[in-house]
Amino acid sequence: MSTFKGKVAVVTGGARDIGRAISVKLAREGAKVVVNYFNSDAGAKETLEEIKSFGGEAIAVKADVSNLNDIKNLKAKAVEAFGGEIHILVNNAGGLFARRTLQELDESFYDLVMNVNFKSTVFVTQVFEPLMGKGASIINLSSQAARDGGGGGSSLYASSKGATTTFTRAMAKELGPKGIRVNALCPGLIATKFHDDFTKDEIRTVVAGKTPLRREGQADEVADLVGYLASDQASFVSGVNFDINGGLAFS
């Protein structure tokens, strides 16, 4: 497919799980993709290999997107590789890191969660927005946790994603006059390493059983929604936080 032929996309946290699925989806439909990663060196290599296996174009750039200097370096690498215009920006980088109750929180953990999940979205958007023009699309990854407060021990994660949903609406207003659309996705239970690491199997079984579609979602299904929002088919869609949770929760 050539939906995004001639387009350049930047995907933060693009080397594994949902991020990898998004990177591959956009590349498969013709975009030149900047795959950002930080800890997933092997995942970045595998993602590039997959993209190149079907003739796609991509580069991998290691950068801590909670650090402004690293974000600027990511921008420089993107411009060096694919030119000075960005058409699609996906703010996907994020993590839960650990489940901690209120009394288990400390400042360093607060800074880690909020910086990786929310600060990154703010400043990646700030740095790349000048390279984006009419018809460009920004897609942020929020979470169902922003809707319902998240599972046990995820108060900071849920709060950071709540901030992302609000920032999405604010940017839709601010950047709309420039012709830039800004939307977010709020995934529910998606079968990824995230839940392998932080959600017990018995809880996953219960949640999937309560979901009207009676299953977990797949990373490719999230990527498909990103593909729609990044395309001209969604040319009048902006400021929306899309639930993708099999019908478990509604906005």
Is the CB of residue 185 less than 8 Å from the CB of residue 139? yes
* Beta bridge partners of residue 148, listed in sequence order: none
Rounded CA Rg of the chain: 17
Tell me the C-alpha to C-alpha distance, in Å, between residue 234 and each of 2, 98, 220, 229, 240: 16, 36, 19, 5, 11
Is the CB of residue 148 less than 8 Å from the CB of residue 133? no
Tell me the HSE value of 160 on the side-chain side, using a 13 A CA sphere. Answer: 26
Q: Which residue numbers are catalytic? A: 157
CA 155/CA 67 separation, integer angstroms? 23
Compute CA 97 distance to the chain's CA centroid, rounded to the nearest angstrom. 16
